[in-house]
Each structure stands twice: as structure tokens, then as C-alpha cells.
Amino acid sequence: MLQTNETIKKLADKFGRKEESLLPILENVYEQKHIISEDDMVDIARELDISAAKVYGTATFYSFLETKKCGKYVIRICKTITCMMHGKNQIIKELEELLKVNLGETTPDGLFTLKETNCLGQCHKGPAMLINDAPFTELTPGKVRDIVNKYRQEEKQVAS
């Protein structure tokens, strides 16, 4: 038998081994690993003693619980009505050029994943996006460049 990995075990200790703990555990696994992998789902199933298929079915229901590897920073641009009206397509184009990836893709350095998302609740300040949990609003192409550069620079500083 495989040993349950430490991450999952700790999360199960923290949130409890009940079905109600499933979402918090999944959310935390994603936050730590930028993916909820097949192996992790099996381990979660084992800890909570529920079927692995149920874990998969639940995870795939929620758009923030990614089952494919994402970058360290997931950029989610709101595509809903008012952000669309205020030019989200331009922002996406700018980001695609800046990051040299298309929507849905991750940069080769594993830093950024570019995605669209439904309403972020920032409709009065569109276009808006989230980078991981942090909201950015009233975006312009220039503003987006600055934000991405800031993230890149911070990464460089951390690396050096």
C-alpha cells in the first residue's frame, strides 16, 4: 500500500476526515501545488474514505480547483458582460503578447497561466482580473504590463 503523502495527511488533520472537509482540502492542495493531481485525489479519497471518483467529480465541478498543472500565478480575466464592454479582449491580447501564451496556456517557465473566468464582482471597475487571489481592476494595456513586470521582478528577487 502506498503511504499517504504528508501534505494531504496534514490537511486532513487540520480540516477533519469528514466529507465536509473535501472542498477546503482540495482548495489547499491546489494552493500549495498549483494542481490537484490524480495521486493526490486518491490520497484524499483514502483519508476521507470516499470514492476517488467522487473526489474527481467534485473537483471538476469548481472552476478554481484545477486538475491540470497551472503556473505559480494564475491570471483570470473576467469575461462577463461589463468587463467585456470595457475592453477585456484588449487586455487578453496584451497579456497573450506579454506572456507569449494563448488563453488556457502556461508560460514555459511555469510562472503564469492565462485564463478567462466568469464575473469577478468588480463590474464597476472593469476590466478586472485576479492574479491568484489578488484582484486588479480598471485595467489598461499599460497597467497590465506594469503588473506583470512587477510579478516578474519579484520572482527574480526571490530567485537571487
Partner 1 sequence: MKEQVNLKIDNLSVSVDEGTTILEAAKKINIRIPTLCHHEDLCVAGNCRVCVVEQAGLDRLQPACANPVSEGMEIFTNSLKVRNSRKQIIELLIAEHRAECTTCYKNGKCELQSLTNEYIVGENGFIPLVPLKGYTVDEFSPSIIKDDSKCIRCQRCVRTCDQIQSISALTVAHKGGEMKVSTFFEKPIYEVVCTNCGQCVNRCPTGALTEKVYINEVWDALYNPEKFVVVQTAPAVRIALGEALDMKPGEIVTGKMVAALRRIGFNAVLDTDFSADLTIIEEGNELLHRLKRALKDKDPDVKIPMTTSCSPGWIKFIEHTFPDMLENLSTAKSPQQMFGALAKTFYAQKMGVDPANMVSVSVMPCTAKKFEANRPEMRASGYQDVDYVVTTRELALMVKQAGIDFGSLPDDDYDSIMGESSGAAVIFGATGGVMEAALRTVYEVVTGREVPFDGLNITPVRGMENVREASIKIEDPVPEWDFLDGVEVKTCVAHGLSNAKKVMEAVKSGKADYHFIEIMACPGGCLGGGGQPLPTSPEIRKKRSEAIYREDSGKKIRKSHENPEIVQIYEEFLHEPLGHKSHELLHTNYVARQRY
Partner 2 sequence: MNKSLKRLDLIFKNEHDADVILEKSLKRSNEELIEDLISSGLKGRGGAGFPTGLKWKLSAEATGKEKYVICNADEGEPGTFKDREILSSVPHKVMAGMAICARIIGSQKGYIYLRGEYKFLVPQLNKTIDEFHELLDKLNLDFRIEIFLGCGAYICGEETSLFESMEGHRGEPRNKPPFPTDAGYKGGPTVINNVETLAHTYSIFKYGPEKFKDLGVKDSRGSKVFSVSGDTPTPGIYELEFGMTLQKFVDDFGDGDAKAVQVGGAAGFCVPRKKFDKTVIGYKGKLTGVSLPTGGSMMIFNSSRSMYNVLHNYLDFFVEESCGQCTPCRVGTQQLLLGIEAVKRGDKSSLYLEQLLSLAETMRITAKCGLGQSVANSFSSIVENFREEMIY
Q: Rule CB under 8 A: say whether 134 interacts with partner 2.
A: yes
Q: Which of 17, 124, 136, 26 is nearest to 80 (CA)?
A: 124
Q: Which of 40, 63, 41, 49 is nearest to 17 (CA)?
A: 49
DSSP 4-70: PPHHHHHHHHHH-SSGGGHHHHHHHHHHHHSS--HHHHHHHHHHHTS-HHHHHHHHTTSTTS-SS--
Q: Rule CB under 8 A: say whether 128 interacts with partner 1.
A: no
Smallest separation, CB 159 to partner 2 (Å) = 25
Pick one of partner 1, partner 2, none as the site partner of residue 85 (Cβ within 5 to 8 A by kind): partner 2
CA within 13 Å, CB half, 152: 10
Q: Give the integer Cα–Cα distance in Å for 137 and 158.
A: 26
Interface pattern 74-113 for partner 2 (x via CB under 8 A) = -----xxxx-xx----------------------------
Q: Rule CB under 8 A: say whether 20 interacts with partner 2.
A: yes
23, 52, 103, 119: which one binds partner 1 (CB under 8 A): 52
| Radius of gyration for the alpha carbons in the chain, expressed in angstroms and rounded | 18
Q: Rule CB under 8 A: say whether 156 interacts with partner 2.
A: no
Nearer to partner 1, 78 or 144 (CB): 78
Pick one of partner 1, partner 2, none as the site partner of residue 124 (Cβ within 5 to 8 A by kind): partner 2
70 labeled binding residue? no
**Residues of this chain that bind partner 1 (CB under 8 A):** 38, 41-42, 45-46, 50-57, 60-61, 67
- Annotated binding-site positions for [2Fe-2S] cluster: 78, 83, 119, 123
